[in-house]
């Protein structure tokens, strides 16, 4: 699994350099390894390198790989970076350190109810459909302020910031306007943390203010999804 170590060296260096280019501290950017469809040996290799924060897209897969195994004791945090269905809320609240994909008040209220039941505060991000794509999850740009206002009234949710997945563009640079738009939206709402940027565009996302980046392929290689 030497390839994993080399890939993480490259990604780590790229994160550092992008932050410096933007006049930011590299420590302000957190690497969340998107580990969907990865093998346990690959995850163990990443942990051996020093990676401690992973992001999973699917609740069932996250339980099988992390939450119901000894691996959960070897990492610092597990994030849910994929869509969350309301019927899976009980398997997520209190299990994942951060939910990146809250996109409706209905879902937020379900999470609030479960967090109240457990007596905890659940950290979340609001997922914004920054380009208004019909096939994408996320609240619309126009409705984001209303959702932020409503969620801030829920006592057991801690809203940390915003998340987005930009449209598939021909180049990383072409994604820059979407990242910039999310940052400006967040700042207008007094939110200053952003989950944005995957393998092909995380450096541009960092230059535009990302605080969490979610590369997967750049670390683990192409997987059968």
Q: How many CA atoms lie within 13 A of 137 on its CB side?
A: 16
Q: Which of these, 164, 154, 93, lies nearest to 122 by C-alpha position?
A: 93
Total number of domains in the chain:
1
Q: Is 32 part of a structural domain of the chain?
A: yes
Position 156 in a domain: yes
Please say whether the beta carbons of 137 and 143 come within 8 A: no
CA-based max dimension of the chain: 48
Q: Within a domain: residue 33?
A: yes
Secondary structure element (H or E) that encloses residue 129, with its range: strand 122-129
Q: What is the pTM of this model?
A: 0.96
The alpha carbon of residue 84 and the mean position of all alpha carbons in its chain are separated, in whole angstroms, by 13
How far are the Cα atoms of 32, 65, 110, 150 from residue 56, in angstroms, in the given order? 9, 10, 20, 27
pLDDT band at 2 (very low <50, low <70, confident <90, very high): confident
Full domain range(s) for residue 87: 2-220
Q: What angle do CA 47, 53, 57 make, to 5 degrees?
A: 110
When pLDDT is cut at 50, 70 and 90, the band that residue 225 belongs to is low
Residue 174 lies in a domain: yes
Asked whether residue 196 is domain-assigned, the answer is: yes
pLDDT in tens, 87-112: 999 999 999 999 999 999 999 999 99
Question: Is residue 145 assigned to a domain?
Answer: yes
Cα dihedral 209/212/216/219 (nearest 10)? 90
pLDDT tens digits along 114-166: 999 999 999 999 999 999 999 899 999 999 999 999 999 999 999 999 999 99
225 within a domain of the structure (yes/no): no
Pairing of strands 98-102, 30-31: unpaired
HSE-up (13 A, CA, CB side) for residue 31: 28
Closest to 78 (Cα-Cα) out of 88, 66, 69, 61? 66
Which CATH number does the domain housing residue 149 bear? Answer: 3.20.20.10
In a domain, 12, yes or no: yes
């Amino acid at each position: 699994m030497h390839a994993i170590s080399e890939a993480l060296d490259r990604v780590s260096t790229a994160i550092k350099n992008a932050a410096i280019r933007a006049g930011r501290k590299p420590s302000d950017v957190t690497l969340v390894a998107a580990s969907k469809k990865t093998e346990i040996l690959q995850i163990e290799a990443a942990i051996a390198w020093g990676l401690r924060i992973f992001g999973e897209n699917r609740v069932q897969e996250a339980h099988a790989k992390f939450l119901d195994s000894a691996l959960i004791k070897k990492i610092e945090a597990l994030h849910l970076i994929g869509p969350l269905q309301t019927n899976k809320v009980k398997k997520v609240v209190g299990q994942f350190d951060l939910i990146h994909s809250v996109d409706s008040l209905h879902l937020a209220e379900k999470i609030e109810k479960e967090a109240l039941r457990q007596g905890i505060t659940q950290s979340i991000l609001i997922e914004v459909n920054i380009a208004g794509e019909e096939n994408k999850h996320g609240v619309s740009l126009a409705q984001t302020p209303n959702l932020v206002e409503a969620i801030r009234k829920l006592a057991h949710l801690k809203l940390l910031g915003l998340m987005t997945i930009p449209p598939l563009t021909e180049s990383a640079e072409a994604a820059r306007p979407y990242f910039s738009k999310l940052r400006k939206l967040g700042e207008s709402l007094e939110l200053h943390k952003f989950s944005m940027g995957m393998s092909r565009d995380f450096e541009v996302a960092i230059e535009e203010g990302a605080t969490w980046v979610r590369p997967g392929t750049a670390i683990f290689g192409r997987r059968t999804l």
